[in-house]
């Protein structure tokens, strides 16, 4: 099996191209290969597959073997891979995802290589039951949740996968290990959830740290950055365009008022190739 190790702001993936469909044992392969001590090491295993509806189909298996509906960092890696490897020669492509449908991607190319990727992440889902949460409201904004006697307030957003955004005084130094897993598996979220802890520094900038469903703490989360901007606009904390600073670097996020779509711009990098 040939693979390429890639990352988007440190959120890293084992990228596989050449399969016709998702292998039946993809969950076990992800657990084995993503192990950082006994495997290759990654946050997830990404398959680039044929699509009847788009240029390519992307499937993402988390390091715990569960499948993610969407991943903003992975779609940037996939987009760079297919262009840099000569699998496509146009700078506007489409990628089919499990949870967010077909997404349009604009590639910024220099000297024949992709240096930056802008993804149309589609419209955010804000209905509480559709995110999903157990809260039957059109929007779930600054809603209370209690964990081990500690009360938080979250805003729920789906970008094809579920997120709860929680504002804290110091996101950079927040205790992810304590609160992330407890919130991920809270009964409030029937499909579990990705958790973003956010501090707004000004109307064009936020700091964010993430606990990803199925992967734990990661250096970056593209859909989480999108959810963070949407939540921050809904809470009146930022403008509709802002930079979201993650542990692995920055993403520029826009929530367009005209079409209601969220746009994410950021880098993707190839680390190495290998054979297993």
| Domain enclosing residue 103, as ranges | 2-122+267-275
Same domain, 97 and 150: no
Number of folded domains that form the chain: 2
Same domain, 143 and 207: yes
Same domain, 117 and 133: no
Same domain, 255 and 238: yes
Same domain, 173 and 89: no
Q: Give pTM, 2 decimals.
A: 0.95
What is the rounded distance in angstroms from the CA atom of residue 198 to the CA atom of residue 152? 12
- For the domain that residue 54 is a member of, what is the CATH number? 3.10.310.10
Q: Which residues are annotated as part of the binding site for substrate?
A: 11, 62, 72-73, 161, 194, 212-213, 222-223
Same domain, 133 and 253: yes
Same domain, 171 and 98: no
Same domain, 152 and 228: yes
pLDDT of residue 223: 97
Determine the length of the chain. Answer: 276
- Residue 164 β-bridge partners: 156, 195
Same domain, 151 and 61: no
- Over residues 72-119, the pLDDT tens digits come to 999 999 999 999 999 999 999 999 999 999 999 999 999 999 999 999
Q: Hey, which residues are catalytic here?
A: 71, 221
Residues 20-33 have a mean pLDDT of: 98
pLDDT of residue 27: 98
- Over residues 192-251, the pLDDT tens digits come to 999 999 999 999 999 999 999 999 999 999 999 999 999 999 999 999 999 999 999 999
Same domain, 101 and 134: no
Same domain, 252 and 149: yes
Q: Which residues are annotated as part of the binding site?
A: 11, 62, 72-73, 161, 194, 212-213, 222-223
**Residue 221 phi, psi (nearest 5):** -150, 110
What is the rounded distance in angstroms from the CA atom of residue 82 to the CA atom of residue 140? 38
Confidence of residue 132 (pLDDT cuts 50, 70, 90): very high
HEC profile for the chain? CEEEEEEECCEEEEEEECCCCCCCCHHHHHHHHHCCCCCCCCCEEEEEECCCCCCEEEEEEECCCCEECCCHHHHHHHHHHHHHCCCCCCCEEEEEECCCEEEEEEEEEECCEEEEEEEECCCCECCCCCCCCCCCCCCCCCEEEEECCEEEEEEEEECCCEEEEEECCCCCCCCHHHHHHHHHCCCCCCCCCEEEEEEEEECCEEEEEEEECCCEEECCCHHHHHHHHHHHHHCCCCCCEEEEEECCEEEEEEECCCCCCEEEEECCEEEEEEEC
pLDDT of residue 75: 98
- Over residues 54-78, the pLDDT tens digits come to 999 999 999 999 999 999 999 999 9
What is the rounded distance in angstroms from the CA atom of residue 101 to the CA atom of residue 123? 11
pLDDT of residue 119: 98
Same domain, 138 and 239: yes
The per-residue pLDDT of the chain, averaged, comes to 97
């Amino acid at each position: 099996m040939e693979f390429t190790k890639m990352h988007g702001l440190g959120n890293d993936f084992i990228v596989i191209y050449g399969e016709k469909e998702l292998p039946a044992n993809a969950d076990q392969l992800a657990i084995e290969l993503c192990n950082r001590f006994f495997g290759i090491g990654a946050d997830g295993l990404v398959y680039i597959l044929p699509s009847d509806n788009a240029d390519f189909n992307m499937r993402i298996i988390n390091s715990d073997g569960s499948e993610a509906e969407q991943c903003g960092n992975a779609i940037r890696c996939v987009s760079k891979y297919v262009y840099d490897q000569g699998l496509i020669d146009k700078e506007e492509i489409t990628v089919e995802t499990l949870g967010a449908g077909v997404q349009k991607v604009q590639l910024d190319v220099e000297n024949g290589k992709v240096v930056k990727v802008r993804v149309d992440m589609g419209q955010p889902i804000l209905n509480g039951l559709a995110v999903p949460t157990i809260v039957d409201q059109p929007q779930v904004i600054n809603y209370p949740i209690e964990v081990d006697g500690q009360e938080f307030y979250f805003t729920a957003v789906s970008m094809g996968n579920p997120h709860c955004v929680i504002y804290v005084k110091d996101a950079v130094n927040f205790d992810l290990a304590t609160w992330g897993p407890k919130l991920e598996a809270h009964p409030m979220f029937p499909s579990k959830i990705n958790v973003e802890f956010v501090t707004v520094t000004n109307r064009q900038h936020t700091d964010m740290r993430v606990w990803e469903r199925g992967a734990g703490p990661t250096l970056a989360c593209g859909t989480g950055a999108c959810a963070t901007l949407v939540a921050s606009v809904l809470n009146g904390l930022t403008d509709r365009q802002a930079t979201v600073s993650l542990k692995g670097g920055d993403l520029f996020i826009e929530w367009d008022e005209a079409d209601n779509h969220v746009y994410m711009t950021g880098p993707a990098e190839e680390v190495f190739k290998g054979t297993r």
